[in-house]
Each structure stands twice: as C-alpha cells, then as structure tokens.
Amino acid sequence: MTALPIRAPEPADIIREPSLRRLLGAAIVGGLGVIAFSVAFGSYVAANMHTLPSSAAADARALLGSVPAIVALGVAHLILAAALAGRRESVRIVGAAISGLIAIAAAAAAAMTAVGVDPFAWSGSGHPSSAGVGILAITAILYGAAALLAGGATDE
C-alpha cells in the first residue's frame, strides 16, 4: 500500500491571527470610538427634543453643532483600532505611537486640570471641575494601556 504524500503547511502558508494583546488594545480604542458615537447620537436626540426648557434648549442646540466633529472622532477611533489589530507591523507601530501620544496629552490635561488650569479654556467654563481630572486620568490610562498592549512585541 502506498501512502499519499501530505505536505505540511509552510510557515508562510499559515494565516497568522493577531495576538490577544493586540486585539485587547484595539478593543479599548474601538470602545472609545463607540462611546464617541453614542455621545453624538445623544447630542442629536437632545437637541431635537421639543419638550426642553428654553435654557436647556440653547445648550442642546450648541451641542448639536459639534455632532459632526464627534462623529469624525468616532470614525478616527475605529480607524485607529483597525490599525492596532491589523497585520502590517508598520501600521500597528504607528497606531500604537498615536495611542501613546494621546495618553500623554490626556495625562498632561489631567495634571493641568488638577492644578486649576483649564486645558480647554475655549469651552467657556469658569473653573475646571474636579470630575474632569478623573475622566482625563482614566482616558490617559486607557490610551496608555492600548498603546502598550498593541505596541508590544511582535506576535511571532
């Protein structure tokens, strides 16, 4: 009886899937993008409510003007998440570097807010809130984790 020669797949023939670390980093950034989409949707709904008091309606209309920018931010997050989960190492490294830079910027904004300097002075609020420090610190931690998870060693 003759055995049929079965060729084992070469390493180049195997489709490599991204590691769990890379997928987790991409999921963090993609989740932040989904949050941006939900904020944009909520802003749109709030601005189109006809039962708002006049004082809240003016704020809702002002928020409605920022919906396109918030949607663009959400799309940018999804593109960044795809870059972090992608197969090309150069694109992944650039995505991880962008996530790291965002983490540094968020940490700097949190530090500025903690000492009483409003990094978003154009927003028109009087004194930065203490809740803003926590939100910016969590944002810095999430982006930093995404950069470290996705930008780590190669999957090989």
User: What average pLDDT score do residues 11-33 get?
Assistant: 81
- The more confident residue out of 16 and 73 is 73
- The more confident residue out of 135 and 155 is 135
Count of positions (residues) in the chain: 156
Alpha-carbon distance of 136 to 130, in angstroms, equals 10
Residue 12's pLDDT is 55
Q: Is the pLDDT of residue 128 over 70?
A: no
Residue 42 burial (CB count, 10 A): 13
Q: What percent of the chain has pLDDT over 90?
A: 42
- The more confident residue out of 4 and 20 is 20
Alpha-carbon distance of 83 to 58, in angstroms, equals 39
Residue 100's pLDDT is 94
- DSSP codes joined into one string, the chain: -PPPP-PPPPTTTSPPPPPHHHHHHHHHHHHHHHHHHHHHHHHHHHHT-SSS-HHHHHHHHHHHTTHHHHHHHHHHHHHHHHHHHSS-HHHHHHHHHHHHHHHHHHHHHHHHHHTT--TTGGG--SS--HHHHHHHHHHHHHHHHHHHHHSSS---
User: What average pLDDT score do residues 55-60 get?
Assistant: 78
0.85 cut: is pTM over it? no
Res. 96 pLDDT band, cuts 50 70 90? very high
